[in-house]
């Protein structure tokens, strides 16, 4: 019973240690998940701000392009209608500058659109990774919580078994002590104990004294018998004489 109690005690301690470790892992997982959510919220907020900025920039550039194209288109039409040969160089320079500005704005629009597409791709990838990690964490938490439940129940059952074994051991120990006490009494009555030298010497002296006394009695008895026969013999011889 003691061996079983020790084994169950070690088992219970191991189970409780496992539960503590699982609980620590869940606490760390919760902290990591909280941090992950905070990071995701920040990156998502940054994405929304960047998206708004790029979309606003694209809209502004496109509006400017429309206005410039309309302006220079109207200017070309007016110049063709009015026909001002006196200042052809000024009109030519203005048209060249407009074309250059339009070209720059078109490049800016393309850059804005490219950067917006990159932000959207990065946002989609970040959200996908976040969703996948969230799902994995959910599975991990469910598994660890299930392990905690089973190990806690098993530890409780083991502790109950330990209590029952301890009670049985106490009862058995009491019964065992009673049996040993009874056995000692039986041994005291049934098993010869070695005598000491003094006891053996005293018992031998007593036996010798008893033998001497018996011999003395026998000798006295024998003498009395002889005397009786002698007297009876004498009585028989007197009449003959």
Give, for all 241 residues of the chain, the pLDDT tens digit: 899 999 999 999 999 999 999 999 999 999 999 999 999 999 999 999 999 999 999 999 999 999 988 888 776 554 444 444 444 444 444 556 667 888 899 999 999 999 999 999 999 999 999 999 999 999 999 999 999 999 999 999 999 999 999 999 999 989 989 998 888 888 878 876 666 777 778 878 888 888 888 888 887 877 666 666 665 555 555 554 4
- Token output for 34: 């909280």
> Does residue 152 share a domain with residue 45?
yes
**What's the domain range around 158?**
2-190
- Into how many domains does the chain fold? 2
Q: What is the pTM of this model?
A: 0.57
Shared domain check, 178 and 146: yes
Alpha helices for the chain (secondary structure H): 2-82, 88-190, 197-240
Please indicate, yes or no, whether residues 182 and 204 belong to a single structural domain of this protein: no
Question: Considering Cα of 106, then 108, then 112, then 114, what sign does the dihedral take?
Answer: positive
Write down the residue that tokens 């052809």 correspond to: 88
Q: Residues 1, 169: contact at Cβ < 8 Å?
A: yes
Q: Which two tokens stand for residue 61?
A: 């550039």
Are 144 and 221 found together in one domain? no
Cα pseudo-dihedral 68, 73, 75, 80, rounded to 10: 170
Phi first, then psi, for residue 118 (nearest 5°) are: -65, -45
CATH assignment of the domain containing 107:
1.10.287.1490
């Amino acid at each position: 019973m003691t061996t079983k109690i020790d084994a169950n005690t070690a088992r219970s301690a191991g189970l409780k240690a496992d539960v503590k470790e699982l609980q620590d892992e869940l606490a760390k997982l919760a902290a990591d998940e909280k941090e992950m959510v905070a990071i995701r919220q920040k990156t998502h907020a940054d994405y929304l701000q960047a998206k708004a900025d790029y979309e606003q920039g694209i809209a502004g550039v496109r509006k400017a392009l429309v206005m410039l194209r309309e302006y220079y288109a109207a200017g070309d039409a007016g110049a063709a209608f009015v026909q001002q040969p006196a200042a052809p160089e000024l009109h030519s320079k203005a048209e060249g500058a407009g074309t250059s500005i339009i070209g720059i704005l078109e490049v800016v629009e393309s850059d804005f659109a490219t950067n917006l597409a990159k932000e959207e791709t990065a946002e989609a990838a970040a959200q996908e990774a976040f969703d996948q990690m969230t799902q994995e964490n959910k599975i991990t938490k469910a598994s660890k919580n299930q392990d905690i439940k089973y190990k806690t129940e098993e530890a409780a059952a083991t502790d109950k078994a330990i209590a029952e074994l301890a009670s049985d051991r106490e009862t058995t120990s009491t019964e065992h002590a009673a049996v040993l006490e009874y056995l000692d009494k039986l041994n005291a009555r049934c098993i010869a104990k070695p005598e000491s030298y003094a006891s053996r010497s005293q018992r031998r002296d007593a036996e010798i004294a008893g033998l001497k006394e018996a011999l003395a009695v026998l000798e006295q008895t024998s003498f009395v018998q002889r005397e009786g026969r002698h007297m009876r013999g004498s009585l028989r011889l007197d009449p003959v004489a």
